[in-house]
Structure formats: C-alpha cells, structure tokens
Amino acid sequence: DSGVTQTPKHLITATGQRVTLRCSPRSGDLSVYWYQQSLDQGLQFLIQYYNGEERAKGNILERFSAQQFPDLHSELNLSSLELGDSALYFCASSVGDSVHEQYFGPGTRLTVT
C-alpha cells in the first residue's frame, strides 16, 4: 500500500458526460501527479500540482482539468467524454518536487460507453 488513495475504483459512464476522479496523496506529500494509462499509449503524464499550484503540464486534453485543494487532495475532471477516454487513471504523489520518487495510487478504471 503506497498511502495514496483514489476514488472511485471503477466508473462507467456514457459519451458526452462529465466525471470527477479524486486523489488523496501520502501524508506530507505536496505534489500530486495525474496519469492516463491505455493499452496503446502506455502511461502518459497529464498534469502536476504542487501545494495547490499547477506545476507542470503534459499531454492533457482541453476537455480535462484538475485542481489541488488546500488539504492537498486533488480532483481530475473529465468532460465531454469520448469512447477513447476509456482508460486507467492514476494519481501519484511525491515529497516536494521529487518527480523521480513518485508513489502511485491504485487507479480509477474509467469505461465510457
């Protein structure tokens, strides 16, 4: 158990809908990272927040957004969902800006029908 929690574990929704994924980092970690994992693309970095501020942006679609709250938990919002958004979404956290020492949560499996 990494200490990173994610909810929900599974999510099934229809095209065009909007969902919110939630992540709580390990105690004391200030950075939260979001990743998408699909069979064809592998694990892709989406976005990083550090102590409430956006720190780095990867291959995140404009339909996706995230935020980190004062208690350091983070939410990833996915809107206007398409079939191709079906994937595993992982959250990771690290102490400070240590991108090389990230600890991953169990993931949320999103299925868009």
Count of residues engaged in binding another protein, rule: CB under 8 A: 24
- Report the 10 Å Cβ neighbour count for 16: 10
Q: Considering the rule CB under 8 A, would residue 61 count as an interface residue with another protein?
A: no
Q: Please tell me whether residue 15 binds another protein under the rule CB under 8 A.
A: no
Query: Closest separation between CB of residue 113 and another protein, Å?
Result: 20
Residue 95 contacts residue 72 (beta carbons within 8 Å): no
Structure tokens, 13: 């929704």
Residue 55 interacts with another protein (CB under 8 A): yes or no = yes
Least separation in angstroms between CB 12 and another protein: 16
Read off the DSSP letter of residue 84. Answer: G
Asked if 93 and 102 touch (Cβ cutoff 8 Å), the reply is yes
Per CB under 8 A, does 99 bind another protein?
Answer: yes
